[in-house]
Amino acid sequence: MIDHDQRFKTILQEFLPEFFQLFFPHWYARLDFTQLDFLTNEVFPDPTQGQRKILDLVARIRLRDDSGNELAILHIEIESPDSMTLLRERFWKYYSALRLRHGCKVLPIALFLNVGKEGIGREIYTEGMFEEDTLTFRFWYVGLPALEAATYRTGTSHLGMALSALMHQPREERPANTAAVVQSLLQSPLNKHQQHLLLDCALAYGPLDQQQRQETEQLINQAIGANQMPVPPELFPEWKDYFHEKGRSEGAHDTSVRLVTTLLDTRFSPLPPFVPDRLRGMTTDELEKLVPLVVTASSLEELGLSDS
């Protein structure tokens, strides 16, 4: 089972300033992200029963106010269910526990993966007795499915590009849109760890089924070949597993030759006529070792496939 919460928790820890700049720019300027500490995400909403809940992301941050001394707590919950009914009361309990534990203001935000609402907005939880409200609690949310993917895919935020995979877009455009995001991320100045996090997100949520995944890979390969882009070997993890799944079956060597030839043709088309013959002369193990090198090599010579 995919751990959606952990995936997005890791992304937000890496890109938290960009998250606020992207979705809450009016708050971004009032938060000092140079003074940010991620906290142990544990609260006890009901200590009498020993209930323990690990929150998704909790951080202490300094506010950009006149004094420069005020601290606040940022709390973000990542929600993958397609309903927010149960979250409202839980979020109030989390808020109360954090407020009591840390003794400072708390900013609660929910990131919805499958609930859109108004895209970016505010939810209210109330409690009352008789005809009177005794409690009113507000939290803010980002509902990715209600946001327009095109707006964020073509923007300047790399986080926005990756998250556009979960946003509203025509189904038939998803492979091309995902390939465009991957190309932009590969050409970005992000470090390898940051690229990997966002590429993983775009590829995990962009294509909706196996056919779309295959179409997406084909489009990405075409872009890679046309632009001679450096490609991380983990971009398509199934490449490195290909031989373990199929390579030991009958006809493994011929299958391996076809796979490596296809990868080479994607990167260095048109291939010189001698290359397929050279590949057929290799063992299956040698071909297996060649696969991860193909996606990062800048020339056939670098792979030892020059005509000499």
- Each residue of 63-77: pLDDT tens digit? 987 766 799 999 999
Mean per-residue pLDDT, 179-198: 90
Mean per-residue pLDDT, 98-119: 95
- pLDDT at residue 294 in the model: 74
Residue with more model confidence, 50 or 167: 167
E strand map for the chain: 31-38, 42-43, 53-54, 57-63, 71-79, 105-112, 120-129, 132-143
- pLDDT at residue 149 in the model: 96
234: alpha, beta or left, given left = phi > 0 and alpha = psi -120 to 50?
Answer: alpha
- pLDDT at residue 220 in the model: 83
> Does residue 270 have a cis bond before it (omega within 30 degrees)?
yes
CA 228 – CA 298 distance, rounded (Å): 7
CA 75 – CA 96 distance, rounded (Å): 12
Amino acid occupying residue 272? P
Q: Is 181 exposed, middle or buried (0-12, 13-18, 19+ CB in 10 A)?
A: buried
- Local confidence band at 12 (pLDDT 50, 70, 90 cut-offs): very high
121 Cα distance to chain centroid: 22
The angle subtended at Cα 52 by Cα 48 and Cα 53, nearest 5°, is 135
Q: Under a CB-based contact definition with an 8 Å cutoff, are residues 178 and 165 in contact?
A: yes
Residue 178 has pLDDT above 80, yes or no: yes
How many Cα neighbours within 13 Å face the side chain of 13?
16
Q: Under a CB-based contact definition with an 8 Å cutoff, are residues 73 and 31 in contact?
A: no
pLDDT > 70 in the chain, percent: 82
Residue 240 has pLDDT above 60, yes or no: no
Residue 117 has pLDDT above 90, yes or no: yes
- pLDDT at residue 78 in the model: 94
- pLDDT at residue 239 in the model: 38
- Local confidence band at 246 (pLDDT 50, 70, 90 cut-offs): very low
Q: What is the CA radius of gyration of the chain?
A: 24
Residue with more model confidence, 299 or 37: 37
E strand map for 19-65: 31-38, 42-43, 53-54, 57-63
214 CB neighbour count, 10 Å cutoff? 12
Residue 244 has pLDDT above 60, yes or no: no
Residue 306 has pLDDT above 50, yes or no: yes
- pLDDT at residue 252 in the model: 60
- Local confidence band at 18 (pLDDT 50, 70, 90 cut-offs): very high
Q: What are phi and psi of 29, to 5 degrees?
A: -70, -15
CA 278 – CA 289 distance, rounded (Å): 15
Q: Under a CB-based contact definition with an 8 Å cutoff, are residues 142 and 164 in contact?
A: no
Q: Under a CB-based contact definition with an 8 Å cutoff, are residues 143 and 118 in contact?
A: yes
Mean per-residue pLDDT, 198-224: 86
Three-class DSSP category at 259 = helix
81 Cα distance to chain centroid: 17
Lowest mean pLDDT among 7-16, 249-258, 278-287: 249-258
pLDDT tens figures, 72-93: 999 999 998 887 888 899 999 9
Residue 238 has pLDDT above 50, yes or no: no
- pLDDT at residue 221 in the model: 79
- pLDDT at residue 263 in the model: 73
- Local confidence band at 47 (pLDDT 50, 70, 90 cut-offs): low
Three-class DSSP category at 247 = helix
- pLDDT at residue 245 in the model: 43
- pLDDT at residue 110 in the model: 97
- Local confidence band at 41 (pLDDT 50, 70, 90 cut-offs): low
Residue 141 has pLDDT above 80, yes or no: yes
| CB contact set of 210 (below 8 Å; sequence gap of 6+) | none
> How high does pLDDT run on average in the chain?
84
CA 185 – CA 173 distance, rounded (Å): 18
CA 231 – CA 305 distance, rounded (Å): 19
Structure tokens at 66: 């006149």
- Local confidence band at 49 (pLDDT 50, 70, 90 cut-offs): low
CA 159 – CA 259 distance, rounded (Å): 33
